[in-house]
Homo-oligomer: A and B are copies of this chain.
């Protein structure tokens, strides 16, 4: 007998990780990236008020954060017109998804998602022994009808829908996402990941009855609010489900510094509006660069632009590789036919200039290596 003894579930898990960070790539390359455009971070940074709040909180970091996160939850609740009992805060959407999956998914339980949607959700489902049932994209968008059809077949505990979608940048009106609720079988919870919704057109955010027990919405400070490195996300759901998180969550997991930064970021609506405008301009600029190189930018409701490289996955992977070799950090969709694309996060003018400078040679090299 060896020590330690893992659970049978863990022993059977693959040792994969959801994402390799750019820092690991930089260590492997022995060279820093010139433009960090791969992780859909907000290159425009956090609100200066959030930075000031984190700075103040740093000196107070000897104190644990409030495990009930009352002040932050109250502010989020006011922002959304719900009560604090409708709000849970966690260590990013990733942390919240991890707890949500543990709350609901036992070994063998089916879960429905889209093939090529958020891999960290799949990672958590696998970690609980859930069985992933995947439907394809429809025209580079997640397909509520296909999700509903699969759900009616397997009666899953969870149905995952991101709106807007990562990695494709597509979106549905919030009403379309909510209409899915009535097509799901009883007992299936819709997990609506709205990580990018602050950057989407008006009407994309769902506006459900906050007490509807069939839905949980997920939001984050990592995208529009520019606080990916702080690790704060939140869930909006009926109070019963919110209260259930207390049974499993790491109660002190969102610390004092993180709570302070998120609270200040939420309050700085002027900064958010400025970021929204800069993201819109940056999307246009990336689209222009793509077109200048004979590529097709897809419409985006997010802080990235997914660019159709015009051929197959092998070619897009070659483009990606050649961009990385030229110090441009980008990522791409994992599954066909979406893997004909690369995904470029919105950046500053100098990031886009580096991209524009590298792309022609990267494409030329890719045409040789993939050709």
Cβ-neighbour of A4 out of B39, B51, B189, B229 (below 8 A): B189
Bound Cα distance A228, B102 (Å): 26
Question: Are the CB atoms of A246 and B15 closer together than 8 Å?
Answer: yes
A335 at the interface (CB under 8 A from B): no
Cβ-neighbour of A104 out of B4, B51, B158, B258 (below 8 A): B4
Stretch of A55-63, A132-140, A359-367 lying at the B interface:
A55-63
Question: Are the CB atoms of B94 and A250 closer together than 8 Å?
Answer: yes
Closest B residue to A18 by beta carbon equals B251
Bound Cα distance A68, B19 (Å): 10
Question: Are the CB atoms of B7 and A103 closer together than 8 Å?
Answer: yes
Cβ-neighbour of A226 out of B14, B62, B229 (below 8 A): B62
Bound Cα distance A66, B24 (Å): 8
Neighbouring B residues of A157 by C-beta, 8 Å = 4-5
A45 at the interface (CB under 8 A from B): yes
**A2-33 at interface with B (beta carbon < 8 Å):** 2-10, 13-15, 17-21, 23-24, 27
Cβ-neighbour of A253 out of B42, B91, B109, B213 (below 8 A): B91
Question: A229 and B65 in contact (CB under 8 A), knowing A55-B58, A251-B94?
Answer: yes
Question: Are the CB atoms of B64 and A228 closer together than 8 Å?
Answer: yes
Neighbouring B residues of A331 by C-beta, 8 Å = none
Question: Are the CB atoms of B57 and A229 closer together than 8 Å?
Answer: yes
Neighbouring B residues of A62 by C-beta, 8 Å = 41-46, 226-229
Q: Tell me how far the C-beta of A271 lies from the nearest C-beta in chain B, rounded to whole angstroms.
A: 12
Q: Tell me how far the C-beta of A336 lies from the nearest C-beta in chain B, rounded to whole angstroms.
A: 25
Neighbouring B residues of A59 by C-beta, 8 Å = 45-46, 51
A180-220 interface code vs B (CB 8 A; 1 in, 0 out): 00000011110000000000000000000000011010000
A105 at the interface (CB under 8 A from B): yes
Bound Cα distance A91, B60 (Å): 18
Question: Are the CB atoms of A250 and B95 closer together than 8 Å?
Answer: yes
Neighbouring B residues of A102 by C-beta, 8 Å = 7, 10, 127
Bound Cα distance A158, B4 (Å): 8
A172 at the interface (CB under 8 A from B): no
**A86-115 at interface with B (beta carbon < 8 Å):** 91-92, 94-95, 98, 102-106, 109
A340 at the interface (CB under 8 A from B): no
Q: Tell me how far the C-beta of A85 lies from the nearest C-beta in chain B, rounded to whole angstroms.
A: 13
Cβ-neighbour of A39 out of B2, B64, B261 (below 8 A): B64
Neighbouring B residues of A257 by C-beta, 8 Å = 54, 229-230, 257-258, 261
Question: A247 and B58 in contact (CB under 8 A), knowing A3-B214, A4-B241, A255-B231?
Answer: no
Question: Are the CB atoms of B252 and A94 closer together than 8 Å?
Answer: yes
A243 at the interface (CB under 8 A from B): yes
> What are 19 A-B pairs at a CB distance below 8 A?
A1-B187, A4-B104, A6-B103, A8-B106, A19-B67, A45-B61, A46-B61, A54-B61, A58-B261, A61-B228, A64-B222, A65-B231, A95-B250, A127-B248, A228-B255, A228-B256, A255-B258, A257-B258, A257-B261
Of all A-B residue pairs in the complex, the 7 with the closest CB atoms, nearest first, are: A229-B256, A54-B58, A23-B66, A4-B189, A61-B229, A62-B226, A231-B255
18 other A-B residue contacts (CB within 8 Å) besides A7-B105, A23-B66, A50-B61: A3-B188, A4-B104, A7-B103, A8-B106, A15-B247, A17-B246, A19-B252, A23-B68, A42-B62, A43-B62, A58-B261, A61-B228, A61-B229, A62-B228, A63-B228, A64-B228, A65-B229, A94-B250
